[in-house]
Chains A and B, each alone.
Chain A
């Protein structure tokens, strides 16, 4: 089974802190994604990557950056955390050779910014 692992299940940070969310997948997937999930708004795409060192903006990239130095790892960075970035963050991966739509998600990181 594909395993997508997110480094933390819960995080509490203060406004202005730099925050790193790490995601690792073990199935050699080319595609990796970062979403945030808020009640009533569904999952919204922040950034995605189709290859190492490659990144593309999603629908809501403002306030975030990403890094993909290795194929298995995709990091989400909040340069200066703000209270409106309190959310559930979900990382996902998929294989380029398979249907893109079959996303495998990590278990999520609930981030609270105080």
Chain B
């Protein structure tokens, strides 16, 4: 089983709609969580950290469910520019700050 798993998609989303997707992690010792965004043929860039209480950044909301070992990302009022691959990243502090990346979820926002 992969340490960090994501539905590869693609999620085809009408412009203006809401889309949400999850990322599951296998190691319960994982201690911090992040979403990175990667545009086609570009490098990944940090989108947002995921806090225990959940957090929002504009149209983006991230949630953490430790009991079920998953994190989620919700995008409201989708824009064409939100089309990208979203990478889930899990950090295990006890393993020396080892970052483990998921395979990514592709989102396509269409007019």
* A100–B89 CA distance with the chains assembled, in angstroms: 12
Bin the interface of chain B by size. Answer: 20 to 34
Q: Can you list, as one digit per residue, whether each of A86-110 has a CB less than 8 Å from chain B (1) or not (0)?
A: 0000100000000111110111100
* A59–B69 CA distance with the chains assembled, in angstroms: 22
Given contacts A40-B103, A42-B102, A90-B43, contact A100 B97 (CB under 8 A): yes
Q: Are B45 and A105 in contact (CB under 8 A)?
A: yes
Report the count of interface residues on A (CB-CB < 8 A).
17
Secondary structure of the B side of the interface?
strand
Query: Which of B34, B43, B100 is in CB contact (< 8 Å) with A108?
Result: B43
Q: Are A101 and B45 in contact (CB under 8 A)?
A: no
Given contacts A105-B45, A107-B42, contact A100 B102 (CB under 8 A): no
CB of B32 within 8 Å of the partner chain = yes
CB of A43 within 8 Å of the partner chain = yes
Given contacts A101-B49, A101-B91, A105-B44, contact A45 B102 (CB under 8 A): no
Query: Which of A42, A90, A101, A108 is in CB contact (< 8 Å) with B32?
Result: A101
* A9–B26 CA distance with the chains assembled, in angstroms: 34
Q: Are B99 and A42 in contact (CB under 8 A)?
A: no
- In the complex, what residues of B have CB within 8 A of residue A12's CB? none
* A45–B3 CA distance with the chains assembled, in angstroms: 13
- In the complex, what residues of B have CB within 8 A of residue A108's CB? 43
5 contacts between A and B (CB under 8 A): A42-B101, A90-B44, A100-B99, A101-B32, A101-B34
